[in-house]
Structure 1
Amino acid sequence: MDTIFALSSGALPAGVAVVRVSGPVTASVVAALAGSTPEPRRAVLRTLRHPDGEPIDRGLVTWFPGPASFTGEDCAEFAVHGGRAVVAALLAAIAALPGTRPAEAGEFTRRAFENGRIDLTAVEGLADLIAAETETQRRQALRLADGALARRAEGWRSALIDARAMLEAELDFAEEDDVPDAAGASVVTESIRIRDDIAAVLATAALGERVRDGFEVALMGPPNAGKSSLLNALAGRPAAIVTDIPGTTRDPIEIRLDLDGVAVTLVDTAGLREGAEAVEAEGIRRARDRGRAADLVIWLDEDGMAAPDDLGDGIEVVPVRSKGDRFGSDPRPPVQRGDFPTVVSVVTGEGIEALVAAIAARAGDRAGGEPALVAHARQRHHLAEAVAALAPLGDAHALAPEVVADMLRRAGDHLGRLTGRIDVEDVLGRIFSTFCIGK
C-alpha cells in the first residue's frame, strides 16, 4: 500500500499549514525530513530538509504510530509556515521519497473506515462537520461524527443477532435442557421493542435532513411585487436583478443565511401571472415547484392580495404587503400578523427586522431541541427498511419461527449496511468523493 500525503489545512497563504502523511513508510518520511522520528504523539520543533539536504522550513512534527492514529496506519503531521512556496517545497520533498504519492479526495478518511477506526455514519457526520455553516448544523454533525447513531444501530443489531440465535436454537435444539422454553415469544417481544425504538429515531430524519440542508423560505407573489428587492435587502448585496419589467426573474435565485444558528435558504422566484410567454411560463412552473417544496412561503403583494389557493396543500403561506413606503396616507393593515409583519419596505426598512426575526423563530422551532440522529437519506433508507422488515411482528403468532428468523436477519443486514459493516462498496465512492483533499 502506498504512503499518501496532502495539505490537510485550509487554503494558502495562511499563518500555519498542516501536511498529513499516512502509510507504511511514514516513519522513513519523518526521519528523512526531520532527521529522526520523535516521541509518539508529542509535537517537536525541527528543521525540515529536502532529501538533498536543502532546508525547507522550521516547523512542528508530530508522529502517530498505528494503529492508534486517525487512519489506523502510521501517520505524521508537519505544521509549517503557511506560504505557498513553503508548502510546495515540503510536498515536493515528500513526493521525492520512495513509496509516497499525493492523496486522493477523502482518502485519509477512507483508510480510517477500512481499518475500522470510524464507521460509515461517522464518516457522513465528519463530512457534515466540515460543511457546517451554522451552530445547529455543527451540533448535529458532531453528534453523528462522534458515533451516536452508530452506537444505537450496533446495539439494535447485536440484540437482533442474539434474538435470532435464541430463536434458531429453539428450532434446532428444542429437546436440549439449556434451551429456554417459549423462546420465540420473548424474541418477538424484544424484537418489537427494537422495531419501535428504531421507528422513534427514524421519526427524527425529516428534522435532521432539514437542519443539514437548511430551512427553505420561498418568496412568491405577482410580478414586480418586490421579491427580488427584498431578497437583496436580506442578503445585503445585489444577488438578484431588479427592474420594472415584469418577468425579470426566471430561474429561482437562492441565498444562504445564518439566522440565530440555523441555516436558512431564501429563494426568489418568478412572479406568478396568467398569459406569460413560454420562457416566463417555465419560470412560473419552477416557482410553483419551489413553493411546494419550501418549509415556508412569504407571499408578497403590493396591494395586499391573498395568495392563490392552488399553491399546494399543507404549505404554510404568510401574506406580507410589500412597498410600504408607497402607501402615503392610505390606511394600513395591522403592524403584525402573529410573529410576522404585515407590511415591509426595503426603502425605509419598515418590517424588515421583524420579518427576519419571525423567519428565524420559525426555523428555530423546526430545528430546536436535541440534534437529530439521522441526517442523510441513506441512513433514513436503511432504518426504514429495518422497520419494514420487522413490521409483521405484531402478527407473529401467525408466523412460522423460520419466517420470524428471516425477518430478524433482514433487519440486521440493513443495520449493518447503515454503519458500513456489510455490503456498502457501491456507496463508498459516492460518499468519499464529497471530501476535500487532505481529509
Structure 2
Amino acid sequence: MADDLDPDDGDRYRHAAAEPDEGREELSQDTIWAWATPPGRSALAVLRISGPAVGNVLHALGVRVLPAPRRASLARLVDPADGQPIDQAIVLRFPAPASFTGEDLVEIQHHGGLGVRRMLANVLAHMPSLRPAEAGEFTRRAFLAGKLGLSEVAGLGDLVDATTARAARHALLRLEGEVSRQVEAWSDQLLGLRAEIEADLDFAADQADVTAGALGRAGPRLELLRDQLRKAVQSAGAATRLREGFVVAVTGRPNVGKSSLVNLLAGREVAIVTERPGTTRDPIEVELDLNGLPVTLIDTAGLRETDDPIEQEGIRRAREKAAGADLVIELVDARDMPPAVVDCPNHLIVVNKADLVPDRWAMLAISCRTGTGIDELLAAIAARLDKDLPAELGAVPADARGQAAVSQALEAVEQALAALPLAEPVLVAEELRAAALALARLTGLGGDPEDVLSAIFARFCIGK
C-alpha cells in the first residue's frame, strides 16, 4: 500500500484498533509472503511479508540489523543456505500495530528480474513458519485487525480495478472511508431513535402518553433518514456504472460508417471496414476512456432486411445490445434523408459522411474520413453519460453487496414509518433494529458468514 511508504503516516495505523471487532474471525498466526507487483520482468519488484516471523526472515536473508521503523534501508540479500548474494534491495519495516495488516510487516523493494524472483522464492519456500499468501490475504488481515471495514475493502478493490481517472477517484474516496462515514451517520440516527423508543417500552401501561410522544417525535427524523437512504439507493446504478463502465452501442444501416467510427474512437483497427454490406456479424466491443468515464463501445451489425441467417443473427444481437445500452448512437448517412426520430436521453442521432454533402445539418454531423465533428461527438457522449452521475458518488457503495444492504435498511425504515400510526413501539423498534443490522453488514460487523468474506477477498490479487 502507498500509505505504508509514508514515514509521517504512522499515526493512522498506530492508533487504529489492534484487536479484531466483534463478529470478525480470529487473526491467523502464520507469516505470509507475496509479491505486490505482477510476475515477469520489471525494473522494480515489491515483496511483502506479514506476520510474527518477519524479523527472522530478514535475519535469514542477511539483514543483521533491523531497519528503523518507516525508514528505507539499503540491504544486501543473501541465500542463507550458502551465503551467496541474491540482490541489493530497499527494506522497509512497519512494526505492529501501525501497519496495513496490523501485524509486523516488511516490504522488500528489489530488482525485478526473473532470476532474483526465483532465488527469493526458493529461499522463502524453505523457511519454517512461512507460507505464500492466498488471494487477498493481506487485505483480509487488515480487515480482521480492524484497519479496514468492508466498505473500505470494496473501495480498495475498485481502486485496483479502476481504468479511468473518475472511477479511481471515487474508489479512493470509498477506500478513505466516505461510505463508512455516511453509514456511521445513518447508524447514529438509528441509535438515537432506538434509544428513545426502546426506553419508553419500559414504562408501565399508564404511561402510554409518553410512548405516543416518542413515536410522534420519531416521525420527522425517520422521514429524513428515509430520504437519505432513498437517495443513496437511487444513486446506486450510477455508482455501478462508474465502477463497471457504461455501454454505448453504435447502430445504423449497413455501410453508414459504424465500424469506421469505432476504429476512429478506439485509435486502432478493431473492426473490419469494407464496402460490402453485412461485414460485421458479431458485436465488437472496445473499452475507452471518455473524459474520465469508463465506456464499452459496441460496433453492431447493420440493420436491414436480409435472408442470410448468419446476418439475421447478427442483427438480432445488435438489437439486443442496443436495448441494454446506456446510450445508443444511431449513425445515418448524410446522403440519405434525415431520420424522423428525434434525440432522446439515451438515443443520439449522428450524421456521418458530412464531408460528402455541403449542407449544414441541424443535428450532430461528423466525418470519419476527415475527423470533422469527432470532438463534438465525444463531448456529446460524455455529457449524456455524465448527467446522471451525482457528485457524492464516493459515499455510495458501488458493489452489489453494499447496495443490497442499503436497500434493506431503506425497506426497514419505510416499514417503521408505516408502523408509526399503529402506536406500537415494539413494531417500530424491531424495524429500526433490522435497519441497523443491515447497515452493520455493510461495514462488516453484522455477523456475515465466512463464504461472504471469502467471496469478497477472492477478487484481490495475491499481493493484496
Superposition TM-score, scaled by structure 2 size: 0.85
Q: CA RMSD in A?
A: 2.7
Contact 1:38/1:44 (8 A) holds in 2: yes
Aligned to 2:202: 172
5+ residue gaps, structure 2: 1-28
Q: Taking structure 1 as reference, are residues 360 and 165 closer, same or farther at Cα in structure 2, changes over 3 Å only? A: closer
Give yes or no for contact 1:300–1:320 (8 Å, CA) kept in 2: yes
Matched, 1:55 2:85: yes
Q: How does 1:331-410 map to 2 (within 5 A)?
A: 331-334=358-361, 337=363, 341-342=364-365, 344-367=366-389, 369-374=391-396, 375-395=398-418, 396-410=420-434
Q: State how far apart, in whole Å, the 1-side matches of 2:338 and 2:243 are.
A: 32
User: 2:457 maps to what in 1?
Assistant: 432
Percent identical: 45
CA contact (8 A) 2:156 2:175 kept: yes
- Note the 1:30-49 alignment, pairs <5 A: 30-33=58-61, 34-49=63-78
What is the correspondence of 1:206-217 to structure 2 with a 5 Å cutoff? 206-217=237-248
The question of 1:316 aligning with 2:346 is answered: yes
| Residues 1:297 and 2:328 aligned together | yes
After TM superposition, the structure 1 stretch with the greater mean CA deviation from structure 2, 243-252 or 79-88, is 243-252
Does 2:45 align with 1:17?
yes
Alignment-derived partner of residue 112 in structure 1: 142
Matched to 2:36, the amino acid is S
Contact 2:222 2:417 in 1 (8 A): no
Q: Residue 223 of structure 1 contacts residue 247 of structure 1 at CA under 8 Å; is this kept in 2? A: yes
What SS does structure 1 have at the residue aligned with 2:159? Answer: helix
The question of 1:288 aligning with 2:319 is answered: yes
Give 1:149 deviation, angstroms.
0.5
Equivalent runs, 1:179-258 vs 2, <5 Å = 182-258=213-289
Q: Residue 48 of structure 1 aligns to which amino acid in structure 2? A: L
CA drift at 1:276: 4.4
| Alignment match, 2:20 | none
Q: Secondary structure at the match of 1:14?
A: coil
Query: What is the alpha-carbon distance in structure 2 between the residues aligned to residue 105 and residue 3 of structure 1?
Result: 15
* Deviation for aligned residue 1:72: 1.5
**What does the per-residue CA deviation read over 1:79-120, in whole Å, with 9 as the maximum and x for residues that have no partner?**
111222112222222222101111122111111112211111
Q: Contact 1:292–1:315 (CA<8 Å) still a contact in 2?
A: no
For 1:206 and 1:307, locate their aligned partners in 2 and report how far apart those are by CA, in whole Å: 31
Question: What amino acid maps onto 1:49 in structure 2?
Answer: V
Cα deviations by residue, 1:314-336 (Å, 9 ceiling, x for unpaired) = 653222222344x3xx55342x5
| C-alpha distance 276-370 of structure 1, shift in aligned 2 (>3 A) | farther
Distance 1:306 1:107 in 2: 58
Contact 1:66 1:74 in 2 (8 A): yes
**In 1, are the aligned partners of 2:182 and 2:395 still within 8 Å (CA)?**
no
In structure 1, the gaps of 5 or more residues are none
Deviates more, 1:183-192 or 1:116-125: 183-192
Q: Please give the alpha-carbon distance, in whole angstroms, between the structure 2 residues aligned to 1:306 and 1:391.
A: 49
The 8 Å contact of residues 42 and 62 in structure 1, kept in 2 or not, is answered as yes
- Relative to the length of structure 1, the TM-score reads 0.89
Alpha-carbon shift at residue 273 of structure 1 (Å):
1.9
| Whole-angstrom distance in 1 between the partners of 2:455 and 2:314 | 31
